[in-house]
Structure formats: C-alpha cells, structure tokens
Amino acid sequence: MSLPLSHPALLAADPELASLVGSEELLQSETLRLIPSENYVSAAVLEASGTVLQNKYSEGYAGRRYYEGQQVIDQVETLAINRAKAVFGAEHANVQPYSGSPANLAVYLAFARPGDTVMGMSLPMGGHLTHGWGVSATGAWFRGVQYGVRQDTGAIDFDQVRQLARKERPKLIFCGGTAVPRTIDFAAFAEIAREVDAVLVADIAHIAGLIAGGVHPSPVPYADVISTTTHKTLRGPRGAMLMSRETHAKALDKAVFPGLQGGPHNQTTAAIAVALHEAAQPAFRDYARAVVANAKALAEELLARGFDLVSGGTDNHLILMDLTPKEVPGKVAAKALDQAGIVVNYNTVPYDPRKPFDPSGIRIGTPSLTSRGLSTGHMPAVADWIDRGVTAAKGGDEGALIKIRAEVSELMAAYPAPGLPTG
C-alpha cells in the first residue's frame, strides 16, 4: 500500500520530516491498532489542531486574560467549555490541561498538600501512575496508598477500598484506570469517599467516549472532580479536561492556571471543541455502542481460543489478557504481533509474578478498529490473527508473522482510517 503525498508546505520546507510523517501515516493506515488508549481523530479534529490558533498566547480565562487580542480565542475556549458541559452534563469544565497527567496534578494542587495521603488503584492492578504511584511525582510528593482487584474475580475489591479508606483517611480517592475491563461503580466509590470525607476523583481518561456515548454510567452525579484525557475513546486531540460542580470550579481553575501551567494550547482547545461537537451527534452513540459490541465479541472469540482474560471478559472497550497459559511472556507476544501488523502493548496483569517491564499480559481494545468501521463480524478474524501471532511468537515463526501482516494489511486497505490520506 502507498498513500498519496500530503502536507505540501512541509514537504517543501523539510522533506526529511515530511517523509517521517508519511511513514507514520502509512503505518497507522496498514496496521490493526489495538492499543485501547489510542484512536483515529477525524479530519476535522486534525485540521482544527493545525490552525493559527497555535500562534496566540492566552494565559488566564475568557474575559480575564493577561494578554490582549483575545476576541476570538475567548470564544473558542467558551465554545469548548459549553460543549464539554453539555456532553457530560457537568456544571463546570476546564479545557486547558495539557494532557491527562498535568490535569491530575492540578487536582492534587487544588485539594491536597505535599505529604498528604492519597488513594488510587495500584498500577500493576490497572491504575494510573498519577494516582499516587511511587515513580510518579504524585507518589514522590504525596503518600500514595493503593487498592486492587480480587484475585478470584478480577473485580475491584470494595471491601478493601473501604477498609483502606477508613484506616488511611486519604484526602483524595481516585477511581478509574488504564487497564480496567469492567464498569466502574462510581456510586460505590462515592459512598466510601463521603464516609471518610475524601474528595472523589473519577479519572475517566479511557472511558470518556463511552460515557459521552451513553454506554458507560456517568460519574457526574457521584464524583467531586472528573478528570479526562480527550484523545482516547473521546476521539479528540491529545489534551485533557477537568469537570466538577460549581463549588470546586475556582479551586480547579486556579490550580490549572496559574498553579501549574502557563498559556493554554489554543489549537488543542479548538480541536477539543470539534471533538465534543462530534461526540454530541447521534452517530457518536452508535460509535460507542459499536466499540463495546466489538470488544465483547472479540473477548468471546478469544475465550473460545483458550485465552485467559482478566475478569473473564469485558464491559467496555478494553481486554486484558493473561498469556501465562499460552506460555508466552507479554513482551514477546507484543513484539511478535507488532511484526504481524497488530499493534498492542504488553501489560501487567493483577497478581503478576513477572516484572512490569516483562509482564505476563497484553492489553488490547477496540476504539481504533471501530473508528475504521470494523464490526462484530470481523472479530473472529481478529481473534484468529492474535491466536496465530501468539503461537508464532512462542515458536519464533517469522514466516507466520509475515503472512498475518499481509492479511491484516489487506483488510485494513478496505477500511480506510479517518483523518488519513487514502491511496
């Protein structure tokens, strides 16, 4: 496959970089991208994020800026905020955080002081680094305590969450994660947070698009603060948002600016506004439903092929596989699948006896393939490729991987990705 040359100005000014962009376009076009935190943004989102809004400094908030010339930028940011509030039903939204990690850091700045205890899901159980894990600033500057999932069910252990919260009295409780294949019970977390007087932060980075599309319950009635990236299932540009009730609006806004950041990335704000406009359309509900239907169908097909799925399946867009029964380490499988044109990431599984840099599992998801229009009828083929790829990884069978790559690339050619040149 080859793609037509695009980006003429870039090509003329910097052929070396233009060629790299072209290579990335080709890679994204011909591979089956199963990383659950990734997606394909629309051509409209892509265009908005490459506009001259990028040239403007706008420290502050609409109507209260530290630089003049904000006649247009104020409207762009207000539009993004209003759309975020409408899509999620939130009272307050801040669209300035540069990405999910700084958004979470702003929450610490707003509600905690260094040394305070914070509680989150443990990283190897599916939590995020920024939920108080040791190697992150949030674990270095705060005292992180971690809950996990039950070994028998793979579901969040609410007895443990409650006990730990009562014992440690955390200032912040984070729920949500990066490798959680099941529905987050925001009400259960809220009850525990109220009991210990903690601020409940729902980090919906992975599932924001599913919530916007109505296929995952909303944290809005339950969480004090909602943190999300905009570039995962929500299918927007790389960026983030914080949402809350009006009572926390000032604290959050102050924490983002001037607390943590300088000028907002206005081109990203614009692209977030476009993504939220898309997420408000009926077609996005269909998309969210299809993401989940595809993940459930893929999970069934993998189970039928003897794969061990954490928690036995999925409620959302994500599947976490323990490859121990297949006798292939996660990293070996991930590298082999990459050779076969199937892009996944190796991942720890709960109670993993192996090290995080060489764990037992791989993590996959359906947001990207659904954006290309693949449906449940394609999932047997996807499961077959994964099965054959993992078997080839175990046997070191490069020929088999090359054959899978050709088959994958042929299917992908029939389902062009949004935002990419078609050739």
Ligand X SMILES: *Cc1c(COP(=O)(O)O)cnc(C)c1O
Question: Which residues are catalytic, by number?
Answer: 57, 59, 203, 229, 232, 238
Integer distance in angstroms from the first to the last C-alpha of the chain? 8
Interstrand relation of 342-343 and 32-33 (parallel, antiparallel or unpaired): parallel
Taking CA 234 as the corner, what is the angle to CA 412 and CA 229, rounded to the nearest 5 degrees?
120
SS3 call for 201: strand
- Asked whether residue 129 is marked as a ligand-binding residue, the answer is yes
Residue type for 137, please?
A
Q: How far is the CB of 129 from ligand X (least distance, A)?
A: 8
CA–CA separation, 270 and 275 (whole Å): 9
Whether 50 contacts 270, CB under 8 Å: no
- Smallest separation (angstroms) from ligand X to the CB of 350: 16
- Give counts: helices (H), strands (E), the chain: 16, 15
236 binds ligand X (CB under 6 A): no
Q: Which of residues 363-402 bind ligand X (CB under 6 A)?
A: none
On the 0-12 / 13-18 / 19+ scale of CB atoms within 10 A, 380 is middle
Pair 100, 240: CB distance under 8 Å: yes
Choose which of 58, 101, 266, 294 interacts with ligand X (CB under 6 A): 101
Q: Does 37 bind ligand X (CB under 6 A)?
A: yes
Q: Is-contact 118 144, C-beta < 8 A?
A: yes
277 assigned ligand-binding residue? no
**Residue 182 touching ligand X (CB under 6 A):** no
Considering only 132, 154, 170, 176, the residue that binds ligand X (CB under 6 A) is 176
Q: Is 248 annotated as a binding residue?
A: no
Quote the radius of gyration of the chain (alpha carbons, Å): 22
For 54, other C-beta atoms within 10 Å of its C-beta total 12
Query: Measured from the CB of residue 40, what is the shortest distance to ligand X in angstroms?
Result: 17
SS3 9: helix
Q: Applying CB under 6 A, does 311 fall inside the site for ligand X?
A: no
**Position among 22, 36, 60, 100 found at the interface with ligand X (CB under 6 A):** 100
Stretch that binds ligand X, among 142-150, 173-181, 401-409, 414-422 (CB under 6 A): 173-181
Is residue 276 annotated as involved in ligand binding? no
For ligand X, which residue has the nearest CB? 100
Smallest distance from ligand X to CB 132, Å: 12
Stretch of residues binding ligand X (CB under 6 A), selected from 77-85, 138-146, 175-183, 266-274: 175-183
List 128, 248, 317, 378, residue binding ligand X (CB under 6 A):
128
Tell me if 246 is assigned to a ligand binding site.
yes
Alpha-carbon distance of 377 to 309, in angstroms, equals: 21
Q: What is the largest distance, in Å, between two alpha-carbon atoms of the chain?
A: 64
- Interface region with ligand X, contact rule CB under 6 A, candidates 17-25, 50-58, 172-180, 210-218: 172-180
Should residue 87 be labelled a site residue for ligand X when binding is judged by CB under 6 A? no
Of 120, 126, 154, 177, which one interacts with ligand X (CB under 6 A)?
Answer: 177
Provide the mask over 202-221, with x wherever binding to ligand X is found by CB under 6 A and - wherever it is not.
-x-xx---------------
3-class SS shares of the chain: helix, strand, coil, % to 5: 50, 15, 40
Q: Which residues bind ligand X (CB under 6 A)?
A: 37, 99-101, 104, 128, 130, 176-178, 203, 205-206, 229
Question: Which residues are annotated as part of the binding site for (6S)-5,6,7,8-tetrahydrofolate?
Answer: 123, 127-129, 246
